[in-house]
Chain A
Amino acid sequence: MGINTLKSTLSRRLSLISNHKDDEADGCGALPDENIIELNKRKLTRMVKEQHLILENIPIMVYLKDDKGRFIRINRAFHSFICRYIGKIDRESISGKRESDIFPENMAMLFLEDKEVLKTGKRKMGIVRGLNIKGKTIWLGLDKIPLISNGKVEGLMGVLKDVTDYIEREKSLRESKDRFETLAETSPFAIFVFQIEKVVYANGTAEKITGFRRDEIVGGKFWDFVHPDYRDIVRVRELDRQRGKDIRPYECKIVTKSGEEKWLQITGNRIIWEGMPAGIITAIDITTIKIAEESLRESEKKFRTLAECSPLDIAVVQDGRIVYTNFEKALVTGYSREKMLSMDFLDIVHPDFRKMVTEKYRNIISGKHVSPFECKLLDKNGKEKWVLLSGSLIKWNGEPSILVIILDITDRKRAEEEALKAKKRLENILHAVADGIRIVGTDYKVKMINRRMARMARVKMAEGTDMVCSEMFGCDQCGTDECSLRRVLRTGKSFQTESLRFTRDGKAIPCLQYVTPLRDTDGNIVGIIEDFRDISMIKRTEEKLRRAHQILKKKNEQLEKLNSLKSLFLNITSHELRTPMAAIKGYAQLLEMDLSDKLDEKQKNILHTIVRNIDRLDRLINDILDVSRLESGTLKIVPEKCKFEEIIDRAIETMRGQAQVKGIKIEKMVEYDLPELFIDKYRMEQVVTNLLSNAIKFSNRNSRIIVRASKKGDKVVLEIQDFGRGIPKNKLKKIFEPFYQVDSGMDRKFGGAGLGLTIVKGIVEAHGGNVEVESKVREGTTFRIILPTRYIEKERKIEIFSRK
Chain B
Amino acid sequence: MAMSKVMVVDDEEDLRNLVKLVMEREGFEVETAENGKDFLEKVSKFKPDFVILDVMMPGLTTKEILEKLKEKNVDPKIMLLTVVRFSDEEIKKLAEKGKIVDYLTKPFDVPELISTVKKHVQ
Q: Which residues of A come within 8 Å of B, CB atoms?
A: 574-575, 578-587, 589-590, 593-594, 614-615, 618, 638, 640, 680-682, 795, 798, 800-804
Contact = CB atoms under 8 A, between A and B. Distances in A.
A803 B56 contact: yes
Given A583-B12, A803-B58, A804-B61, A682 B85 contact: yes
B25 A802 contact: no
A680 B87 contact: yes
A410 B113 CA distance: 104
Interface string B101-112: 000001111110
B12 to A, nearest CB: 5
B78 interface: no
A798 B90 CA distance: 7
A583 B14 contact: yes
B83 A578 contact: yes
Contacts of A615: 107
A671 B28 CA distance: 48
A581 B108 CA distance: 9
B107 A804 contact: no
Interface stretch (B1-9, B15-23, B38-46, B69-77): B15-23
B110 A582 contact: no
Contacts of B90: 638, 798
B93 interface: yes
Contact of A640 (B18, B25, B88): B88
Given A574-B84, A803-B57, A614 B22 contact: no
B89 interface: yes
Interface in B89-122: 89-90, 93-94, 106-111, 113
B53 to A, nearest CB: 11
B59 A586 contact: no
Contacts of A802: 56-57, 61-62
Contacts of B113: 586
A800 B108 contact: no
Given A581-B106, A590-B110, A802-B62, 17 more contacts: A578-B106, A579-B83, A582-B107, A583-B14, A585-B107, A586-B18, A586-B22, A586-B113, A587-B18, A589-B109, A590-B25, A593-B110, A682-B87, A798-B89, A798-B90, A800-B62, A804-B58
A590 B55 CA distance: 23
B56 A586 contact: no
A594 B25 contact: yes
A578 B12 CA distance: 11
A185 to B, nearest CB: 144
Contacts of A682: 85, 87
Contacts of B19: 586
Report whether over half of chain A's contact residues are helix, strand or loop; otherwise say mixed: helix
Contacts of B61: 800, 802, 804
B36 to A, nearest CB: 10
Q: How large is the interface on B (under 10, 10 to 19, 20 to 34, 35 or more residues)?
A: 20 to 34
A638 B12 contact: no
A593 B94 CA distance: 33
Interface string B51-67: 00001111101110000
A584 B18 CA distance: 10
14 contacts: A578-B107, A581-B106, A582-B18, A582-B107, A586-B22, A587-B18, A640-B87, A798-B86, A798-B90, A798-B93, A801-B55, A801-B56, A801-B84, A803-B56
Contacts of A594: 25
A678 to B, nearest CB: 12
B87 A800 contact: no
A583 B18 contact: yes
A558 to B, nearest CB: 29
Nearest to A584: B107
Contacts of A803: 56-58
Contacts of A583: 12, 14-15, 18, 107
Contacts of B59: 804
Contacts of B62: 800, 802
Contacts of A681: 87-88
Nearest to A587: B18
A51 B8 CA distance: 173
Given A583-B12, A586-B18, A682-B85, A800 B55 contact: yes
A682 B87 CA distance: 8
Contacts of B12: 579, 583
Contacts of B93: 798
Nearest to A615: B107
A575 B85 contact: no
A614 B106 CA distance: 11
Nearest to B91: A798
A37 to B, nearest CB: 155
B88 A582 contact: no
A584 B12 CA distance: 13
The 4 closest A-B pairs by CB, nearest first: A582-B107, A589-B110, A582-B106, A638-B87
Contacts of B106: 578-579, 581-582
A590 B107 contact: no
A801 B58 CA distance: 10
A681 B89 CA distance: 11
Contacts of B57: 802-803
B113 to A, nearest CB: 8
A587 B84 CA distance: 21
Contacts of B18: 582-583, 586-587, 590
B14 A638 contact: no
A803 to B, nearest CB: 5
Contacts of A575: 56, 83
Most buried by B among A590, A594, A681: A590
Most buried by A among B15, B19, B57, B107: B107
B87 A614 contact: no
Nearest to B55: A800
A580 to B, nearest CB: 8
Contacts of B85: 682
Nearest to A802: B61
B39 to A, nearest CB: 15
A762 B38 CA distance: 42
A294 to B, nearest CB: 117
A638 B84 CA distance: 13
A510 B75 CA distance: 79
Given A575-B56, A798-B93, A586 B87 contact: no
A637 to B, nearest CB: 10
B22 A618 contact: no
A681 to B, nearest CB: 7
Contacts of B56: 575, 801-803
B14 to A, nearest CB: 4
Nearest to A573: B83
Contacts of A585: 107-110
Nearest to B93: A798
Contacts of A638: 87, 89-90
A582 B57 CA distance: 16
Most buried by B among A578, A681, A800, A803: A800
A618 B89 contact: no
A798 B57 CA distance: 17
B88 A586 contact: no
Contacts of A574: 83-84
B78 to A, nearest CB: 14
A581 B89 CA distance: 28
Contacts of A614: 107
A682 B62 CA distance: 23
A638 B19 CA distance: 30
Nearest to A686: B85
A584 to B, nearest CB: 8
A211 B63 CA distance: 147
Nearest to A795: B89
A582 B55 contact: no
Given A579-B15, A583-B14, A590 B83 contact: no
B33 to A, nearest CB: 17
A379 to B, nearest CB: 86
A528 B111 CA distance: 94
Nearest to A622: B85
A801 B21 CA distance: 27
